[in-house]
Structure 1
Amino acid sequence: MTKGYLIIGWIMAIQTGFLFFVGIMAKDFPYYALTPLSLTVMSFCMHYLYPQFKEKDERMKMIREKGIFYSYFAILGFFIIIMSTLGIGLIDLTAMNLMYVITSLTIMTVFISMVIMAKIY
């Protein structure tokens, strides 16, 4: 199972690289490539986390709980930063592009925080 996450991660990484290449060649930032990027990060994180999550013990539960807890505050921080920069006009995003950014930040934050918690505990 862990090799499956690694294979999917590399396939998604190649796809994400292609989407970024196409978007940059079109002289526009490819916001649509952020979601596959976050799924790539999720696959690599699950490759690392699967051996710990396979055993249903207290350590696994603590990694999940602490990872979600810390990612909650990080996501709140992202929302404050995004709302502030949109409010004062530093960035100008469409609603769809904003959803790409928020979705990808949320997915990446949750799984990266779980990897950090797995390294700490």
Structure 2
Amino acid sequence: MTKGYLIIGSIMALQTAFLFFIGLSAGEFPFIALTPLSLTVMSFCMHYLYPQFKDKDERMRMIREKGIFYSYFALLTFFIILMPTLGLGVIEITALNLMYVIASLTIMTVFISMVIMAKIY
């Protein structure tokens, strides 16, 4: 099963690289490429986490709980930074592109925090 996550992550990484290349070649930041990027990160994190998660024990439950707990505060920090930045007009971004950014940050933050918790515990 872990090889499946690695294969899917590699395919998604190639797709993400292609989308970033095409978007940047057109002279714009490709916000649409953030979703495959977050799914790439998720696949590689699940490749690392699967051996710990296949055993439904107390350690797995603690990794998930602590990962979600710390992700909550990281996401609050992202929102605290994004709101004044958008409100003051420091960056101009459409609502759809903002949703791409928020969704991608959410997915990546949750899974990266679980990997960090797995390394700690």
TM-score (norm. length: structure 2):
0.99
Task: Tell me the residue number matched to 1:32.
Answer: 32
Question: 1:87 matched to which residue of 2?
Answer: 87
Q: Does 1:67 align with 2:67?
A: yes
1:29 aligns to what SS in structure 2? coil
Cross-structure match for 1:56: 56
2:98 match: 98
Secondary structure (helix, strand or coil) at the match of 1:49 reads helix
Amino acid at match of 1:57: D
The yes-or-no answer on 1:107 pairing with 2:112 is no
CA distance in 2, matches of 1:98, 1:75: 14
Q: Deviations over 1:2-25 (max 9, x none)?
A: 000000000000000000000000
Q: Post-superposition, which runs of at least 4 consecutive aligned residues in structure 1 deviate over 2 A? A: none
Partner of 1:17: 17
Question: Partners in 1 of 2:17 and 2:87 — Cα distance?
Answer: 31
TM-score, length of structure 1 as denominator length: 0.99
Question: SS of the counterpart of 1:90?
Answer: coil
- Which 5+ residue runs of structure 2 have no aligned equivalent? none
Counterparts of 1:84 and 1:68, CA distance in 2:
25
Where do 1:39-50 residues align within 5 Å?
A: 39-50=39-50
Gaps of 5+ in 1: none
Number of positions where the alignment pairs a residue of Structure 1 with one of Structure 2: 121
- Please report the RMSD computed on the Cα atoms of aligned residues, expressed in angstroms: 0.3
Deviation at 1:84, TM superposition (A): 1.1
